[in-house]
Structure 1
Amino acid sequence: MVSNPLPNLARWLGRQPWVMGTARFVLPTERLIRALSRNRIGVLDIAGLPSLRMTVTGRKSGLPRETSLLYVPRGEDFLIIGSNWGSRQHPVWSANLRAAGTALVRLHGETFPVSATEIDGVDRERAWDLAVEFWPGYRVEERLAGGREFRIFELRRR
């Protein structure tokens, strides 16, 4: 059986600093692929990387906000990292998730509620090590973010 070379290619690309500058192209491409596939697949899926679709209530608007995210598997739970492509600002979804504490996740055609816990302290160090081992590109994003500590959340099925 031939294995999919795309995850390894994606991991290599994720370690290249110039890739973070492609967000302005990747994000519209993500929306287009999602629209054409009726929300079944996105850019991360095509790259063979684990992705989930998260819907969280906007802390200011009260409206549902949806985003696609790379996740790090951790047992039956999921880690998501607020790297924001190495931006110096936290991603909006992380502030919304921090305020709401819950979200809906769509994964492999299934939608289910999750509770979200922001990880800190020693647990954060362990989670960060796991995340970087899984997606080495987080180190590049960390350097680009100029010292901003990424928010790390654990999502657990409710």
Structure 2
Amino acid sequence: MAPVNPASRGTRLVQKFSSTRTFAKVAPRIIPALDRAVHRLSRGKVLLSAQMLPGVVLTARGAKSGLERRTPLACMPEPDTGTWLLIGSNFGRAGHPAWTANLLAHPEASISWKGEEIPVRARLLEGEERTEAWTQALRFWPPYATYQARVERQIRLFRLEPR
């Protein structure tokens, strides 16, 4: 039998913990605040949560206020197309995350990706395109299936395309 890779064991442990209801209650208060602080202190080069999953800081105008909002988010880079997939899981909580409403109202946004500011246009995925992207997202981070099972809403998926 091949030895267990400690990194994959660590990843499985994090995936298991991130699927719990406790994580869903605690993480939304802690992770974004830590990410914002580390991102600011590193001048946009580091996201703490990106040590486990790739991440961006999304800058989008608020749906109601029109004010600029910065939100650290896990993302799924799509290197073959130069795009990014954002999954509006909200840690498996009932409502859609606010950033998804912001992108629906104002799809022109920007992301900070590895220290670089990139203007993007967000597109809500639907139909077959969404189904395909959802399958890829579940392979990328299996806890998304637990999040979807926990909520009645369909988790929103956005593709960010450079402008």
**Fold shared per TM-score above 0.5:** yes
Question: 3-state SS of the aligned residue for 2:110?
Answer: strand
Q: Where does structure 2 lack aligned partners over 5 or more consecutive residues?
A: none
Q: Distance in 1 between matches of 2:94 and 2:119?
A: 30
Question: 3-state SS of the aligned residue for 2:31?
Answer: helix
Which residue in the other structure is 2:47 paired with? 42
Q: Distance in 1 between matches of 2:77 and 2:15?
A: 16
Corresponding position: 1:5 with 2:30: no
Shift of 1:84: 0.6
Question: 3-state SS of the aligned residue for 2:66?
Answer: coil
Which residue in the other structure is 2:88 paired with? 82
Consecutive aligned runs of 4 or more in structure 1 exceeding 4 Å deviation: none
CA contact (8 A) 2:46 2:115 kept: no
CA contact (8 A) 1:34 1:41 kept: yes
Q: Distance in 2 between matches of 1:62 and 1:121?
A: 29
- How does the TM-score come out when normalised to structure 1? 0.86
Q: Distance in 1 between matches of 2:68 and 2:129?
A: 29
Aligned letter for 1:29?
Answer: L
The number of equivalent residue pairs is 154
1:58 to 32, 57, 62: 62
Q: Distance in 2 between matches of 1:4 and 1:66?
A: 34
RMSD after superposition: 2.1
Alignment of 1:1-158 (within 5 A): 5=7, 8=11, 9-23=13-27, 24-45=29-50, 47-74=51-78, 75=80, 76-145=82-151, 147-158=152-163
Q: Distance in 1 between matches of 2:6 and 2:76?
A: 19
Percent identical among aligned pairs is: 34
Aligned letter for 2:33?
Answer: P
Q: CA offsets, 1:98-136, max 9 Å, x none?
A: 111111111011111111110001111111000111011
Aligned letter for 1:121?
Answer: G
